[in-house]
Amino acid sequence: MRFDVITLFPELFAPFLATGVTRRAFEGPAACMDLCLWPLREHADDAYRRVDDRPYGGGPGMVMLVEPLTRALQAVRAGQEQAGRPRTPVILFSPAGAPLTQARVRDLAASPGAVLVCGRYEGLDQRFIDRHVDEEISLGDFVLSGGELPALALIDAVARLQPGVLNDAQSHEQDSFSDGLLDCPHYSRPEVHEGEAVPPVLLSGHHAAIARWRRERQLEATWRRRPELIQAARGRGELTAADERFLATLQL
Classify residue 145 by burial, with Cβ atoms within 10 Å: 0-12, 13-18, 19+.
exposed
Cα–Cα distance, 150 to 117 (Å, whole number): 10
Q: Starting at the edge strand that comes first in sequence, how are the strands of the sheet with 34-39 ordered?
A: 34-39, 2-7, 113-117, 90-99, 135-138
Indicate if 95 belongs to the active site: yes
Which domains can be identified in the chain, with CATH numbers?
2-159 (3.40.1280.10), 176-250 (1.10.1270.20)
Gap between the Cα atoms of 105 and 110, Å rounded? 9
pLDDT tens string for the chain (252 positions)? 999 999 999 999 999 888 888 888 998 776 899 999 999 999 999 888 999 999 999 988 999 999 999 999 999 999 999 999 999 999 999 989 999 999 999 999 999 999 999 999 889 999 999 999 999 999 999 999 999 999 999 999 999 999 888 865 444 444 445 578 999 999 999 999 999 999 999 999 999 999 999 999 999 999 999 999 999 999 999 999 999 999 999 986
Residue of 71, 95, 179, 216 with catalytic role:
95
Has 89 been annotated as catalytic?
no
> Can 185 be counted among the known catalytic residues?
no
Cα gap 102→84, rounded to integer Å: 29
| Residue 199 annotated among the catalytic residues of the structure | no
Distances (CA, A) of 20 to 11, 155, 166: 18, 13, 10
Residue 57: alpha-carbon gap to chain centroid: 35
Q: What is the CA radius of gyration of the chain?
A: 22
Residues 6+ apart with CB under 8 A from 13: 5, 7, 35, 37, 148, 152
Whole-number Å distance between alpha carbons of 128 and 174 = 39
The rounded distance, in Å, linking the Cα atoms of 151 and 156 is: 9
- The pTM of the full predicted model, rounded to 2 decimals, is 0.83
In the DSSP assignment, the letter for residue 126 is: H
24, 125, 160, 220: the catalytic one is 160
Determine the Cα–Cα distance for residues 108 and 114; give it in Å rounded to an integer.
Answer: 8
